[in-house]
Amino acid sequence: MINILVDDKGFHPFKQNKPKQLIATDKPEDLIETVSEENEVTIHFDSAADGRGFSIARRLRELGYGGKIYASGALICDQYRHARQSGFDGVLLTVEQAIRIPQSHWLENAKRVPVSYRNRLYAA
């Protein structure tokens, strides 16, 4: 059960509102019509070696989706920087994942996120 959100400030209790679950084989162009900004999109990674979820998040942002996008599944803290740069707002963890990779590891990688997608997207 997922109940922890990790973002740039660390771990937080999490309860998802109006979720929309996507998988790495989904095509963003087909999905943009089915999600609204009141949905919280979760893109699930079956493997830490499969980067298709990063491409989906980036493409959803390019298509104009401004709601929350979360990653879930087999991500590790070393991928946090890339997740944020791709357009994810955070990573959803199970308690087991949070124990295996503690908050301090995620925060160390959060420091390495230079500019968020929103800053680039809305730059004047």
pLDDT, tens digit (0-9, with 9 covering 90-100), for 71-98:
999 999 999 999 999 999 999 999 999 9
- CA distances 84 to 1, 61, 79, 102, 114, Å, are 23, 12, 9, 18, 10
All structural domains of the chain: 2-96 (3.40.50)
The SS3 of residue 95 is helix
pLDDT band at 117 (very low <50, low <70, confident <90, very high): low
For residue 104, is pLDDT > 90? yes
pTM higher than the cut 0.85: no
> Can you give the pLDDT at residue 10?
96
For residue 116, is pLDDT > 90? no
pLDDT band at 124 (very low <50, low <70, confident <90, very high): very low
Beta bridge partners of 71: 43, 91
Q: Which pair of structure tokens corresponds to residue 28? A: 């963003």
